[in-house]
Homo-oligomer: A and B are copies of this chain.
Amino acid sequence: MRERQILDAAVQVFSRYGYHPASMDEVSEVAGVSKPMIYAYLGSKEDLFTHCIRRESARLLDAVAAGIRPELAPDMQLWHGLRSFYRFVHEYRDSWTVLHRQALAVGGTFADEINQLRQQAIELVAVLVKSAGSRAELADQVQKSGEGLAVALVGAAESLADWWIDHPSVTEGMLASWLMNLVWLGFNDLVEGKLWTPSDPAA
């Protein structure tokens, strides 16, 4: 459909230049569609950007959700989720850039939408952490900081995604491994020679 064609172009252009410097002229050129069409289908520049964010957010959520196996152990769920996330970032780099970099920089409504998306990711992670801890009684302080831990983990994952752009030789499995080792085992264990490995290496 025309709408998709336009959105694809918009994501590409917004990703490259950012919201404000991006020009509707360039979007129309890349989309191969005249400007009045853009306004007819998607509304103003602001509307267009909102549509971009919404579509890419949904894509990202779908991609991650599709990778998770709820029947597995918490650490394996996290592991699969991370790999799905990095596969998405790899395949739709422009989407990721728009969501993570450009939308937040604009602030206002856009940043709010992105923060909601992040919140969903954080809560998803928080559930995993909680279920992992349900075997034992988590220390009080940990209980309280549950969300904080999730925020940190999500942030770490995002930063590695950015860093990946400049270090493309790394695979998405390595990225996910590092994170698992870092947050599941911690430095403390690492220096003692422990390593986290997927219980199901084939996955």
Q: A199 interface residue, CB < 8 Å from B?
A: no
- CA A170 to CA B75, docked complex, whole Å: 28
Docked-complex contact A145 and B174, CB < 8 angstroms: yes
Question: A104: nearest residue on chain B (CB-CB)?
Answer: B101
Are B159 and A174 within 8 A (Cβ)? no
Q: Which of B151, B157, B186 touches A189 (beta carbons < 8 Å)?
A: B186
Does residue A203 face the partner (Cβ distance < 8 Å to B)? no
The one of B138, B178, B184 that contacts A145, using a Cβ cutoff of 8 Å: B178
When distances are taken between beta carbons in the complex, the residues of chain B under 8 Å from A186 are 182-189
Cα–Cα, bound, A16→B129 (Å): 35
Instruction: Indicate if the CB atoms of B152 and A160 lie closer than 8 Å.
Output: yes
Seed contacts A145-B177, A153-B182, A184-B186; 15 additional CB < 8 Å A-B pairs: A17-B107, A133-B190, A136-B191, A136-B192, A138-B190, A138-B191, A145-B181, A148-B163, A148-B175, A183-B186, A183-B187, A185-B188, A186-B186, A186-B188, A188-B196
